Chain A
């Protein structure tokens, strides 16, 4: 997919890695071509050292990503909302293995073995283009200043 691969990716601090590996929903923000930001809840994991989410090119966030690869991901610890990680960076979109990635997320976040046919109707699989969105971190913010 037509997204540039950034040259620099900040590492995820080990102190907050659990927020990306535990099944915690994140708030993922993209921007449309006219500058309107849009946020949605997403399943998150780690792929090649980057935080990764999974979407389709047909959804609003997929269309936004094709226009503007700058994204933000916020994951808040549900046990302590002052503990969070916010990653701002550049999205790299990958179609190879995207359905496998989605199924792995489905197994992590739900009790279902696969996304299509369980979470979502199987016939939708042909109607949408799944992509892995790897977030190459350019800036990372941790935790609230209050406790």
Chain B
């Protein structure tokens, strides 16, 4: 579910990534997940991106696409048009959590 899209020419990615996530200008992120059928049950993971890599990023993305589709698919070509692969470079970001909020207040405040 974590993916960055970059509009850089091929070759620039490697240079940027080689600097490492620790040199990214804004490595602090938050990831928020909630149950759309029950928004009062949610999880927030705040943290720092400690690794950004192209290694395994496409496979990871295909795995995510398959999970969300409920069957084995590829991201480029199945989930979105294959032509996007020419202009996008998937990046796998690993987040080191620094603060986690997990809430389950379902049943207390139901929308009418």
- Which of B26, B30, B111 has a CB less than 8 Å from the CB of A110? B111
How many interface residues does chain B have, given as a range? 20 to 34
A21: CB under 8 A from chain B? no
A81 to B36, CA, bound (A): 8
Q: Tell me which of A32-40, A87-95, A129-137 binds B.
A: A32-40
A27 to B32, CA, bound (A): 8
B71: CB under 8 A from chain A? no
**B45 to A, closest residue via Cβ:** A39
Residue of A25, A35, A39, A119 with highest tally of chain B CB at under 10 A? A39
How many interface residues does chain A have, given as a range? 20 to 34
Given A76-B36, A119-B109, output 20 extra A-B contacts at Cβ < 8 Å.
A23-B112, A27-B34, A29-B30, A35-B28, A36-B46, A37-B28, A37-B30, A38-B46, A39-B32, A39-B44, A40-B32, A41-B34, A78-B37, A81-B36, A109-B111, A110-B109, A110-B110, A110-B111, A110-B112, A145-B84
A8: CB under 8 A from chain B? no
Which chain B residues in 3-42 approach chain A with CB under 8 Å? Answer: 26, 28-30, 32, 34, 36-37, 39-40, 42
Residues of B within 8 A of A109 (CB): 109, 111-112
Residues of B within 8 A of A81 (CB): 36
Which chain A residues in 80-113 approach chain B with CB under 8 Å? Answer: 81, 109-111
A146: CB under 8 A from chain B? yes
Residues of A within 8 A of B28 (CB): 34-37
Interface CB pairs A-B, < 8 A, 6: A36-B98, A37-B28, A38-B44, A76-B36, A110-B110, A110-B111
A84 to B36, CA, bound (A): 12
**B79 to A, closest residue via Cβ:** A146
